[in-house]
Amino acid sequence: MIRLPADRPAVMGILNVTPDSFSDGGAFADWREAADYGRSLAAAGADIVDVGGESTRPGAVEVPVEEEMRRVIPVVSELASSGVPVSIDTRKATVAEEALRAGAVVINDVSGFRDPDMVSVAAESQATVCIMHMKGEPRNMQSAPFYKDVVEEVKGFLAGQADLLSSRGVPHENIWVDPGIGFGKRHDDNLVLLRRLEEISLIGFPVLVGVSRKSFLGTISGEPTPRLRLGESIAAGLYCLQRGARILRVHDVAATVGAIRVWQALQNSG
């Protein structure tokens, strides 16, 4: 488990050890290079480094468990032994379990602990859990998602899963929630979720948001290359903080940390 700083938002740095992530796939030759990059994220001010071995971009197919383990476990182990707080971004209970054994302190499950085995792994550990909302699976989530009221549906799911985890013994302070921007959402669903983010924090858990480089930002700005959406990502991230988010999951850690410092100084001045 990990304690959030009381006096400022937290930053989760993204470390994708995948050949095909939407903005930064295939960046590392081996696990040593990946771990070095993870350490550089921590040095740039990331409070947590989120290690993922399976892309969950729209249309992505599932990676076999052995392959996902091969990608992430050495990186988790190396980072944890350097004292970096590590989060494991996985939908698979076996990968989560092995990552916790290797030193991870957060389970970030984009399928929101729908798998009972994942609930058991969380319940038997001291880990912090991030429950994310996703409609469907990455393979099919963008084929005509529909909501009557997206905020109510996302809130209902997150509150229900938080209740389930609590009933299995996961302490309240170990639970975070995430609306899952871009996961089975239309463009306007993403915008409404961000505009009404405060309603999600009313469930009573810290809210984590991942907007970094996502395609809805490109739809707004016209920038087709995810890596070049830095300004867009910072603007959306600060907006989320204004609406009550406590943790930002980002690719560009140094720029985000600087932006948060300025935002906070302005908030606290006078």
In this chain, which stretch among 21-29, 38-46, 191-199, 252-260 interacts with ligand HH2, using CB under 6 A? 21-29
- 3-state DSSP percent of the chain in helix, strand and coil, to 5: 45, 15, 40
Residue tagged active-site, from 92, 214, 243, 246:
214
DSSP state of 207: B
User: Among 39, 92, 155, 249, which one carries the catalytic annotation?
Assistant: 249
Residues 223-252 that bind ligand HH2 (CB under 6 A): 249
108 binds ligand HH2 (CB under 6 A): yes
Contact between residue 89 and residue 55 where contact means Cβ atoms under 8 Å apart: no
- CB atoms closer than 10 angstroms to residue 115: 15
| Residue 90 found at the interface with ligand HH2 (CB under 6 A) | no
52 touches ligand HH2 by CB under 6 A: yes
Residue 98, classed as helix, strand or coil, is: helix
Q: Distance (Å, rounded) from C-alpha 21 to C-alpha 26?
A: 8
The answer to whether residue 249 is catalytic is yes
Give the type of residue at 128.
T
> Per-residue x/- mask for ligand HH2, residues 163 to 202, rule CB under 6 A?
---------------x-xx---------------------
Question: Does residue 14 touch ligand HH2 according to CB under 6 A?
Answer: yes
The token pair at 67 is 């392959």
- The helix/strand/coil state of 105 is coil
| Residue from the set 9, 18, 69, 175 that interacts with ligand HH2 by CB under 6 A | 18
148 is catalytic: no
Distance CA 65, CA 160 (A): 27
Q: Which residues are catalytic?
A: 214, 249
List of residues contacting ligand HH2 (CB under 6 A)? 14, 16, 18, 21-23, 52, 55-57, 89, 108, 110, 130, 132, 178, 180-181, 208, 210, 249
